Structure 1
Amino acid sequence: MGRWDGRYDGGMSPTYWNGSVEVLRRWLKNGSNPVKYGQCWVFAAVMCTVLRCLGIPCRVVSNFQSAHDTDKNLTIDDFFSDYGVRPKQSPDSVWNYHVWVEAWMRRPDLSAGSLYDGWQVVDPTPQLKSNDVYCCGPAPVKAILQGHVDLKYDVPFVFAEVNADRVTWMVFADGSKKKISTDSVSVGQNISTKAVGSDKSVDITPTINMQRVGIE
């Protein structure tokens, strides 16, 4: 069970867990009831363990400066009035980091060949509904890198998490607006995973962030 308000009565703080085994054991012992409490890195660790038990290669991925695009326009919009105040709170945001899982699988549902085979983003901390269900992925990393945002599942949302521009708007009294600035570099600052055989971090940003490799 997730919780983000800082109150963890009746459970453990998300920072308590140092592995997924204890979480899964508590879940089994308590009759498959939710284990309290987790956040994105806890959910990702548990999903990674379960997928590996099923024989699916996977890895936990951390994205620093992770965008949350709520209106599916692939940008993070921030609004200010000409008095310097925010006339309305944008539902878009940028989190200092977010953690998900990449799983290796074929995607014959997307291509007759092997165009989208390989790493797929599967996010166990879905932030928006996908087809009326809270889930996210599998989204092909190759599609995200190339900007193929017309593909399933949830490619536009994941694309924005690592590639979105941050756009600042000036909103006038008559409701019109003017673009003030565009930041194309701050989102997706560093996308990394654990190295095989060591605790070192491996930078995998170029595999998914099209802006970092100059793809237009």
Structure 2
Amino acid sequence: MPPTPDPCGDLARDQANVDVLWEQRQAYAQALEQDWQRLQQAHQAMLGNFEGYKALLDACAIWDIVGETMEGGAGNAGELVEFITKLVGGDLSYLVPSDTWGPLAERLVDAFPSEANWAGNMRSRIEGCGAPVGHSLRRAALDFVSSWEQVRQLMPQVQQQINRIRDKDLRYWEQWNRFYRSCRQWAQCKGLSPEGCPPPPAQPAGPMPRPSFP
């Protein structure tokens, strides 16, 4: 015979719903951390070759907007690191309405050229430059372009992971509130104190613990 349903409700199922959402968001967070590390490595390589890139452009009289774009996006770097750190670490305080985090996440791709063929065209111009420049300078310029291309490819992946995590975090927050209400009803039905039910914070602040049974 199947077990008789608990007349007070299935609290284990309600908690399982919370746990599933948390595990899904953690899987997304792990993927984001991997993509973010690759993005940071590519960005550092790009910065390391930027001066050589600029010097070759000057020597070859090639005009390009990349330098201006980099300078325009540089102000977001520290904020982006803090934002990604919060996401990966499970700190949901970024969900508090703010003028910073939302627009910042949407600006991830904006600092980079949108033309898919930019890197190929720039390589052709660098390799075809007839100015008497050394091999190391030309190599640095080409390495810059390769790193730039990698950054451009990773940016949409990072943005996609951010969107997935934000969606899961909001659903997790909502599901915890539902679990809290179910837990209080279940405790009252069992004749227990509802104070043992773990309430969600009034607003997300710091890493969110997983609720446990009273």
Q: Report TM bin, short chain.
A: under 0.3
Task: Considering Cα pairs closer than 8 Å and 6+ residues apart, tell me whether 1 or 2 has the greater RCO.
Answer: 2
- Greater strand proportion: 1
